[in-house]
């Protein structure tokens, strides 16, 4: 994903949505997957800022149930380049 150009991203999200739709009894679009992923990352970053006392002074919000539920899974930051 990180090596794809910006115009290729929508095709990658569409592939992700097809995989989800093929393995689960739901239909989702690539755009829905992208929006959900971005929300998960925002929630993760928000909790991380709260835990490290927000040294950058960025805006904080109260974490929702999903932010809290997925924080530990995302703590490894597996989506970032090594």
Q: Domain coordinates of the chain in residue numbers?
A: 6-74
Task: Summarize the confidence of residues 56-66 as an average pLDDT.
Answer: 92
Contact, 33 vs 13, CB < 8 A?
yes
Would you say residue 1 has pLDDT above 60? no
Give the pTM: 0.77
Look at residues 52, 48, 55 and name the one whose alpha carbon lies nearest to residue 76: 48
């Amino acid at each position: 994903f990180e090596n794809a150009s910006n115009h290729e991203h929508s095709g990658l999200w569409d592939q992700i949505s097809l995989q989800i739709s093929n393995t689960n009894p739901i239909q989702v679009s690539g755009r829905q997957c992208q929006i959900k992923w971005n929300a998960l990352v925002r929630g993760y970053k928000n909790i991380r800022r709260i835990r490290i006392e927000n040294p950058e002074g960025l805006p904080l919000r109260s974490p929702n149930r999903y932010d809290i539920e997925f924080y530990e899974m995302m703590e490894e930051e597996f989506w970032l380049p090594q």
